[in-house]
Structure 1
Amino acid sequence: MDACTTLVKAFPQKILDADHRDTDPPSPLTKAYGDPPIEVTCGVSPPAGMAQAQSQCFEVNGVGWYAKEAANGVIFTTIGRKLYLEIAVPKTYTPEANALTDVSDAVKAHNPLITPCT
């Protein structure tokens, strides 16, 4: 999980103008921003439904994502990268996908591409 720790550390101090905040419990695999929190988790399992989701892959600044609607917003998971990274963005931050532009540089630099988004 050292690769996840490096990736999470590379994330910006803000996502969608929401400041970085502490997580409870603290973990080198997670990061949170704002209130309600935008939650980042590295090292997750691929979400159910993602295997047949290649047509649902969308790209933001060179990073492929799978989006799943949740009760309180959208959960985005990287596609085609070595590590599965999840970003849960509450509806408060609509349009939720805008959060992905703030993290794409860190993902590209620290999470190697295996398969491009198609």
Structure 2
Amino acid sequence: MNFFRHRRSAFFGLPALALLFTIAGCSSADDSASVSVPSPNAKVTKLCQNLDKVLPRTVDGLSREDPEPRSALTAGWGSPAIILRCGVERPPKMVDPKVALGDDPKAVGGGVNGVDWLMEKQDDGSNRFTTANRSAYVQVTVPKGRDTSGVLVDMAASIKKAIPKGIAN
């Protein structure tokens, strides 16, 4: 009789163990954002690596939680994540300033604490900001509903320190 009791508990233990692994696989520890990592040239990569070293630990009161895959070219804060990507391609709207600033109500230029930005409202309600007049393009995406002013203020000093003024290729 003990033999059957042992086999039955083992039988019910396996599904419970499988359920535990399934639940653990879906836990909030796996809620990190996922982003595509830019692939800039060596000069821009070095600038982005320098930026990664001086980025703030918190942005708009949110702790740094880098997205997957981990890279010195990307960073994130909070959940849903504010995402920074360094070394992105020049946005098409920057090619012709008249188009960027005049013809698209979702795109405007502006500056925050000495850093110039192209600001674009995305179809999903998020805001995307790309640095202008810097030697590398840094893109920051702020989720829908989050105030953007504190984000750009918190990042300005790091960007000014690591990414010199100039025109990115």
What is the TM-score with the length of structure 1 in the denominator?
0.89
Match in the other structure for 1:59? 111
Is contact 1:39-1:89 (8 Å) kept? yes
The yes-or-no answer on 1:87 pairing with 2:140 is yes
Per-residue CA shift, 1:10-33, capped at 9, x if unaligned?
110011111101321111100000
Structure with bigger RCO (C-alpha 8 Å, 6+ apart)? 1
Is contact 1:4-1:42 (8 Å) kept? yes
| Alignment-mate amino acid for residue 15 of structure 1 | V
The yes-or-no answer on 1:107 pairing with 2:159 is yes
Match in the other structure for 2:12? none
Match in the other structure for 2:66? 22
| Alignment-mate amino acid for residue 61 of structure 2 | D
| Alignment-mate amino acid for residue 17 of structure 1 | G
Larger Rg: 2
Is contact 2:119-2:128 (8 Å) kept? yes
Whichever structure has more strand as a proportion of its residues is: 1
Q: Which sections of structure 1, spanning at least 5 residues, go unmatched?
A: none
Is contact 1:53-1:66 (8 Å) kept? no
Alignment: residue pair count: 114
Whichever structure has more helix as a proportion of its residues is: 2
What is the alpha-carbon root mean square deviation over aligned residues? Answer: 1.5
Distance 1:15 1:27 in 2: 18
TM-fit CA distance, 1:66: 0.2
Per-residue CA shift, 1:36-85, capped at 9, x if unaligned?
00000000001121222364321100110001111131000000000000
Match in the other structure for 1:75? 128
What is the TM-score with the length of structure 2 in the denominator?
0.63
TM-fit CA distance, 1:2: 1.5
Distance 1:52 1:7 in 2: 27
Q: Secondary structure of the equivalent of 2:67?
A: coil
